[in-house]
Amino acid sequence: MKIGIAQINTTVGALDGNTRKILDTYQQLCDNGADLVLTPELAVAGYPPRDLLLRSRFLADCAESVRGIAAATGAVPLAVGFPERNEGPGRPAFNAVAWCCDGKIQRVFRKSLLPTYDVFDEDRYFEPSEPDRPIHFGGRTIAVSICEDLWHGLDGQRYSHRADPVEKIAEWKPDKREFFFTNGKWYFLRDGYFRSKQGFEITVDSKGKITHICYKMKWDESTSK
């Protein structure tokens, strides 16, 4: 399966502009042979929408935008992030992903683990969800997770591995400089740097061991390697 990742920069509250970016990128990735297209978390609303989520009209407008996005999809599924109104008790919304395909919203998946550390305050606005069942597509069983749900088990513990994935990748392609994701952090294979959106860089050795973490208020491209 070829997965297309829509690496778009959305704007909080700019629903029309975000929708255009999502659909334009979806079409580009489909034209390039993607079998599935993924957007960032809450791509329709922009992240983080914060107090906009307390406005019922905003949630209604997000739902309308998602329906319009779904109507424009073809045979290639689009998993698009959006805030879904909570019609039951609790907080006003769910942090959700709509699985859109063949002109319709086929399924909606909701986030379970809502971060409240550092700059995050999702628990203030979103109701946590029970785990969703996987979806079957193209002869495959696909589980859809949103951010924190992928990093931790539902008991709050990080997922464990029978083998260290960093060491296995190092053995697989020791001469490549490739970045990969495990346990909630980005790493570079071999000596190198990876700039995260949070403004810090992590240095690892050829076996994936972190040797240095440098936090920066502002990234300086002249110092990148």
Residue 188 in tokens: 């570079």
Please tell me whether residues 35 and 83 are part of one structural domain: yes
pLDDT at residue 106, rounded to an integer = 96
Please tell me whether residues 25 and 113 are part of one structural domain: yes
Give residue-wise pLDDT tens across range 121-167: 999 999 999 888 899 998 889 989 998 887 765 444 444 445 554 45
Please tell me whether residues 75 and 170 are part of one structural domain: no
pLDDT at residue 51, rounded to an integer = 95
Residue type for position 159: Y
Last residue of a domain, one of 102, 120, 151: 151
Specify if 216 maps to a domain: yes
Q: Which helix (H) or strand (E) holds 185?
A: strand 185-188
Rounded alpha-carbon distances, angstroms, from residue 125 to 54, 121, 155, 184: 8, 8, 21, 23
Give the separation between CA 35 and CA 75, rounded to whole angstroms. Answer: 9
Provide the pLDDT confidence category of residue 218 given band limits of 50, 70 and 90.
very low
Give the separation between CA 196 and CA 161, rounded to whole angstroms. Answer: 24
Give residue-wise pLDDT tens across range 58-115: 999 999 999 999 999 999 999 999 999 999 999 999 999 999 999 999 999 999 989 8
Please tell me whether residues 42 and 70 are part of one structural domain: yes
CB 43 within 8 A of CB 81: yes
pLDDT at residue 208, rounded to an integer = 55
Model pTM greater than 0.85?
Answer: no
- Domain that residue 62 falls in: 3-151
Answer positive or negative: Cα dihedral of 197, 125, 181, 73: negative
Give the separation between CA 105 and CA 70, rounded to whole angstroms. Answer: 6
Please tell me whether residues 180 and 213 are part of one structural domain: yes
pLDDT at residue 214, rounded to an integer = 52
Q: ∠65-66-70 over CA atoms, to 5°?
A: 120
Last residue of a domain, one of 151, 175, 198: 151
Catalytic positions, written as ranges: 41, 111, 147
> With pLDDT > 70 as the criterion, what percentage of the chain qualifies?
67
Residue type for position 81: G
Please tell me whether residues 110 and 80 are part of one structural domain: yes
46 pLDDT higher than 90? yes
Residue with tokens 């809502």: 114
Last residue of a domain, one of 116, 151, 186: 151
Distance of CA 21 to the CA centre of its chain: 16
